[in-house]
Chains A and B, each alone.
Chain A
C-alpha cells in the first residue's frame, strides 16, 4: 500500500482527498441522515480499495530517500 504521507506533497494530496471524501459523507449525513452517511462511507471505502487495487505504482516518483552523506567524507569528533 502506498504511503499517503511519504512526502509533504503527497500528504497535501491526501488531505485534499480526505476533504472531498468526508465532505461527501458529511453532506450525505446532513441531508439524508445517518443511513445515507453510512452508505457514503461504505461506497468511499469500496471505491478507495478498488482504486488502490487498480492503480499501479508510478514508475517515476519523487525520491523520498534523501542523499546520504558522501561515504568518503570524514566524521570527526574533535
Chain B
C-alpha cells in the first residue's frame, strides 16, 4: 500500500518560527527599550532634584552643615570611567578571539564596579545626614541610590558574562558574544548616568 501521505522532504517539524517583524534583533531591541525606560526613570529623579533645588533657592543649597565629598566622588568617577575602558577592552578582545583578554577585561570591570559601590557605601556611612534630613538629603540619596542600584544590576550582568566567558561560551562572531555586548552597552549607559549625576549633584 502506498504511503497514506506524501512526505514532503522539506516538511517542517515542530512549531513555526516566531515572527520577527523588526529588522533589529529582539535581544538588542530589548536592551534599547530597557535603557530608554531607565532614561525616563533617571529623568524623573533629575526633575525632582532640580524642582527641589529651585524651590529651596540657591542660597540654601546645600543647606548649612551639609557637605558632599566632592573629591571622593571624583575618585569614584575615575574608577567608573576606567571600568568602561576595561569593558571596551573585553569586547575588543572577544572580537579578536582573544579569550584571556575577554576574561581579564570582564574581571577588571567587575572589580572596579564593586570598588565603586563599596566606596559609595562608605561615603554614605560618613556623610553625617540621612535620607529624611531635608529635601537636599532626600534628592541626594534618591539620585545616587538609584544609580547605585543600577551599578548593582550591572555587576550581576557582568558576573554572568564573566562566568560564561570562563566556560568558553563566547566567540568572535557578532551573534556569539551578545552576552558580552549587551552588558557592555548597559555598563556604558550606567557610566554616562554617573557622569551626569556627579556633575549635577556634586559639582554644580
Which B residues contact A (CB, under 8 angstroms)? 12-17, 20, 23-25, 28, 31-32, 35, 58, 81, 84, 87-88, 91, 173-175, 178, 180-181, 184-185, 188-189, 191-192, 195-196, 198-199, 203-204
For chain A, which range describes its interface: under 10, 10 to 19, 20 to 34, or 35 or more residues?
20 to 34
Nearest CB in chain B: distance from A15 CB, A: 5
Tell me if A12 and B188 are in contact (CB < 8 A).
Answer: yes
Q: Which residues of A are found within 8 Å of B204, using beta-carbon distances? A: 25-26, 29, 34, 37
Q: A34-B58, A34-B204 are in contact. Are A14 and B188 (CB under 8 A)?
A: yes
Tell me if A25 and B32 are in contact (CB < 8 A).
Answer: no
A26–B88 CA distance with the chains assembled, in angstroms: 25
Instruction: Give the interface SS of chain B, mostly helix, strand, loop or mixed.
Output: helix
Q: Which residues of B are found within 8 Å of A22, using beta-carbon distances? A: 195-196, 199
Nearest CB in chain A: distance from B86 CB, A: 11
- Check if A65 is an interface residue, CB within 8 A of chain B: yes
Tell me if A9 and B195 are in contact (CB < 8 A).
Answer: no
Instruction: Taking A3-B32, A12-B87, A26-B203 as given, write out 8 further A-B residue pairs in contact, using a Cβ cutoff of 8 Å, ordered by the A residue number.
Output: A5-B189, A8-B91, A9-B91, A11-B188, A18-B195, A22-B199, A75-B13, A75-B16
Contact with B along A50-78 (1 / 0, CB 8 A): 00000000000001111111010011110
Question: A77's contact among B15, B58, B180, by CB below 8 Å, is which?
Answer: B15
Q: Which residues of B are found within 8 Å of A11, using beta-carbon distances? A: 184-185, 188-189
Question: B199's contact among A5, A26, A76, by CB below 8 Å, is which?
Answer: A26
- Check if A43 is an interface residue, CB within 8 A of chain B: no
Tell me if B175 and A66 are in contact (CB < 8 A).
Answer: yes
A5–B32 CA distance with the chains assembled, in angstroms: 8
- Check if A30 is an interface residue, CB within 8 A of chain B: yes
Tell me if B15 and A66 are in contact (CB < 8 A).
Answer: no
CB nearest to A17 among chain B residues: B192
